[in-house]
Amino acid sequence: MSDRIFGAVGLLLAIGFAVAAWNIEESFLSDAVGPSGFPLIVAVVLGLSSIVIAIKPDAAPHWPGLGRLAELLAAVVMMVLYAELLPVVGFVIATAVAAAYLSWRLGSGIVGAVLTGVGSSVGIYVIFHLIFGLSLARGPLGF
């Protein structure tokens, strides 16, 4: 029963995502696909996956224990904090902290998690900002 509910909620999310994607206004500098192309692909994949989950539910789903659910909730809180702090502290710092925390929760040691967070953050910054020239959130240090 829980899989069917999960599938129905996912399908509703996909429909909402598709409606939001259709309402994206196109600018005069739009490409052939337009700004709603990628969000519509995501909505279709989410919708199809949700339909499969609702139609073919798992006979005996295994729910994680309370400790694992708390870890999942902490990861969600971290991602919300990341989104909120991104414009305040900038891309490099926010991404380094978020990636380090998530890496640590996935099993890395503290030193490895910090190195992963900093390396990921700086690597993404170099590729997307310095090489591709995309604008990323600037922090108090100017990057």
Largest CA distance in the chain: 53
- Where does 1-107 have alpha helices with state H? 2-22, 37-55, 66-89, 91-105
Burial class for 31, CB neighbours closer than 10 Å (0-12, 13-18, 19+): exposed
The Cα-based distances of 45 to 15, 16, 39, 48 in angstroms read 11, 13, 10, 5
Quickly state the pLDDT bin for 30 (edges 50, 70, 90): low
Q: What is the pTM of this model?
A: 0.66
Whether 32 shows a pLDDT value over 70: the answer reads: no
As a whole number of angstroms, the distance between CA 121 and CA 92 comes to 5
pLDDT, position 33: 62
pLDDT, position 31: 59
Question: Residue 104: which of 95, 94, 115 has the closest Cα?
Answer: 115
The arithmetic mean of pLDDT across residues 17-38, rounded, is: 76
Whether 74 shows a pLDDT value over 90: the answer reads: yes
Share of the chain above pLDDT 90, in %: 67
Q: Which residue has the tokens 């919300």?
A: 80
Quickly state the pLDDT bin for 55 (edges 50, 70, 90): very high
The arithmetic mean of pLDDT across residues 57-73, rounded, is: 88
The arithmetic mean of pLDDT across residues 29-53, rounded, is: 84
pLDDT, position 133: 86
